[in-house]
Amino acid sequence: MKIDFYKHNLIDEDKKELMKVVNSLFLSTWNLVDEFEKKLSNYTWNKYSVWVKSCTSALFLSLNYFWIWKWDEVITTPLSFIATANSIEHSWAKPIFIDVDNETWNINIDNIEKKITKKTKAIIPVHLYWQMIDMRKLRKIADKYNLKIIEDCAHCIEWNINWIQPWNLWDIACFSFYATKNITSWEWWAIATNDNKIYNWFKKARLHGMSSNAADRYTKKYEHYDMEFLWYKENMTNIDASLLTNQIDRIETFLEKKEIISEKYNNWFKDNKNISYPKVLNNSKHSRHLYTIWVKPEKRDFYLEQLQKNWISVAINFRPIHLMRYYKEKYWFKAWIFPIAEYIWNSTITIPLYPKLTDKEIKYIINTVNNITNE
């Protein structure tokens, strides 16, 4: 039995929406982009959403909106995808890494104040795996030192803890719709904000700094457009939006299915002394984007090989950013400078978790993982 690591949730209804756009006049940014941005704002309880082309773009735009530039410092976690730190590098600022908590695997908030200097301008928290960061606690620190919070919410469009969602105590929040995310349009990211000035700036920034897009000039009374500031082309299209407009209506259904699968994993792995996983905090709702387990570091690569030999596709989320060649050479990072992040990386296996998994496949994954790790 071959089990893929991930399968998207697109159905015939989404494909029909795509074909409607393909057969229409406007393929680029227009009405479906606006429609999804409104749906995303409603779902996330914020006033405005703006789509851009990638995670790096969303974070990079956010940093530049706040004039974070050369010689500034931005605090973040080493345990994330490289885009988080890369956006800081692209802004010519410096990423300041804080090691993670050994229970939730998220940035250790208790250690942040120790790294704040006069150069510190912002914090980019990343909500990873099953757990959301304590944003009330982080917001107090940010306010104390007059720092901006730009949330990397790639894993957590559905999350909340004590009724605080990832985007409620922030300055700008960034969401992902990459191919493996809970709802997808191949790529693309969105930012969420309640600030009208931020919203209007992002709408222009994603189109070279122009005052209006081509569709607006065609469908409304023609007005000459202006270029108000210099930027890049980072807008998304109606083609991409067509795949997401109906998926977001089904997002809670997807989550319910993944919750059921996760509980099955939990129940069958809880007695396996060779497996552990992140602690789930009380009063929290999580997105179940990934199901990651911990095993003994010296056994991890052997288990990976055995799972693949049994036709189960797996991954490792994530290799710490400070161990990447670019960051090691530029900042002279040495091994074990962030020991918890490195231990997690050396221990982690991510197994399949998506709504299309069948009961037969789930049982096969559970039995195979337990058999291999109990040898």
Better pLDDT: 62 or 167: 62
Would residue 6 count as lying in a domain? no
Residues 169, 267 within the same domain: no
Q: Would you state the pLDDT for residue 158?
A: 66
- Pick from 198-202, 231-235, 265-269: least confident: 231-235
Q: What is the pLDDT of residues 76-117, one digit of tens each?
A: 999 999 999 999 999 999 999 999 998 888 999 999 999 999
Domain count, the chain: 2
The number of angstroms, rounded, from the C-alpha of 215 to the middle of its chain's C-alpha atoms is 30
Better pLDDT: 158 or 146: 146
Max avg pLDDT among 123-137, 169-183, 216-230, 324-338: 324-338
- Pick from 9-23, 162-176, 341-355: least confident: 162-176
Q: Would you state the pLDDT for residue 54?
A: 82
Q: Which domain holds residue 74?
A: 12-249
Pairing mode, if any, of strands 148-152 and 94-97? unpaired
CATH number at residue 102: 3.40.640.10
Integer Cα distance of 209 and 225 in angstroms: 10
Better pLDDT: 189 or 134: 134
Three-state secondary structure call for residue 36 = helix
Residues 182, 267 within the same domain: no
The residue count of the chain comes to 375
Residues 45, 94 within the same domain: yes
Would residue 1 count as lying in a domain? no
Residues 242, 287 within the same domain: no
Q: Is the pLDDT of residue 162 over 60?
A: no
Residues 155, 229 within the same domain: yes
Angle at CA of residue 31, ends 27 and 34, nearest 5°: 120
CATH number at residue 350: 3.90.1150.10
pLDDT band of 277, cuts 50, 70, 90: confident
Better pLDDT: 259 or 280: 259
Residues 200, 303 within the same domain: no
